[in-house]
Amino acid sequence: MALTKLNTHGIGADVILAEDIASNAVTIAELGDQAVSEAKMQISNAGTNGQFLSKQSGNTGGLTWADATTWTPTTEGRVTISQAQDDIDFTIPADVNMIKVLFWGLSQVPNDNPFLIRYGTTDGTLVTSGYLNTSTYWYNGAHPSVTENTDGIKLNGWNSTGNYWYGEINFSSVGQDGRRWYYHMNAYNDTYGEYFSMAHGRIPLDSGQQIRKIRFTCASTGGYDSGGQIKTYTVKL
């Protein structure tokens, strides 16, 4: 009589190995629904919540838990500005190659401060010169104004109180060393909504340096009016 059933005393644990099973002996039809758990799969690392399973042919089992490429907010989160607050910093992680800054309702207190952003580098230096920034604004029926400056990322010619700004800045770095950046800023002014305002430029960094800080600042004292909001995201593609 053929053997049709194994009891608990028949075969010890780990006696039947993968090499003892004929090729294609276990088919999909013979597996129950939701029968294969993570513990039964051969994956090269332990993994953490939020990761996805990726094909990595050089790793054990050919499968590896990996981080998804997503935009991540900086540790500061969304900052809501208090009255006269100045030097609002956002910490940029190492090795990212894209940065997005969103701002809502920003207005400087004194009337002699332009909209100004600066960055800090790996060695802790806040860069106040050497920028290659071009800003422009124009409106229907008028010639555009184009201005260049070297002291920061700036919307030149807009320094009156009560000008509230809404918009975004996008930074992109070519390569993986984080040294060569292009940026573009679009901004809407609710006092002069018929104007189209923007700035763009490039940031070359020395060898070994990366952007590690984004700072919203006023060129002179006074800071910003209360209620404005800023949030910064980063990603490595």
CATH number, residue 167? 2.60.120
Whether 64 maps to a domain, the answer reads no
Q: Which of 187, 192, 169, 160 is nearest to 105 (CA)?
A: 187
For residues 228 and 35, which has the higher predicted lDDT (pLDDT)? 228
Whether 97 maps to a domain, the answer reads yes
Task: Record the tokens describing residue 208, joined without a space.
Answer: 């070994």
Whether 15 maps to a domain, the answer reads no
Range 128-149 average pLDDT:
91
- Category of 29 on φ-ψ map: left (φ > 0), alpha (ψ -120 to 50) or beta: alpha
pLDDT confidence of 7, banded at 50, 70, 90? low
Q: How do 211-217 and 153-155 pair as beta strands?
A: unpaired
Domains in the chain, number = 1
Strand partners, 121: 211
Q: What angle do CA 183, 184, 190 make, to 5 degrees?
A: 140
Q: Write the CB contacts of 89 (distance below 8 Å, at least 6 apart in sequence).
A: 76, 120, 213, 214, 215
Tell me the residue range of the domain where 207 lies: 72-235
Range 99-112 average pLDDT:
92
The rounded percent of the chain whose pLDDT value lies above 90 is 52
Helical segments of 188-236, H only: none
Type of residue numbered 108: Q
Residues 221/112, Cβ–Cβ less than 8 Å: no
Global confidence as pTM: 0.76
Whether 30 maps to a domain, the answer reads no
DSSP, residue by residue, 71-106: -EE-TT-SEEPPTTB--EEEEPPTT--EEEEEEEEE
Please determine, for residue 1, whether its predicted confidence score (pLDDT) is greater than 60: no
Whether 158 maps to a domain, the answer reads yes
pLDDT of residue 216: 96
Range 15-36 average pLDDT:
68
- List pLDDT tens digits, range 185-224: 999 999 888 899 999 999 999 999 999 999 999 877 889 9
Residues 91/212, Cβ–Cβ less than 8 Å: yes
Please determine, for residue 3, whether its predicted confidence score (pLDDT) is greater than 60: no
- List pLDDT tens digits, range 64-99: 887 777 889 999 999 999 999 999 999 999 999 999
pLDDT of residue 137: 92
pLDDT of residue 200: 97
Whether 47 maps to a domain, the answer reads no
Helical segments of 38-156, H only: none
For residues 114 and 120, which has the higher predicted lDDT (pLDDT)? 120
Q: What is the DSSP letter of 36?
A: -
Q: Which of 185, 201, 184 is nearest to 134 (CA)?
A: 201
pLDDT of residue 80: 98
Whether 203 maps to a domain, the answer reads yes
Whether 197 maps to a domain, the answer reads yes
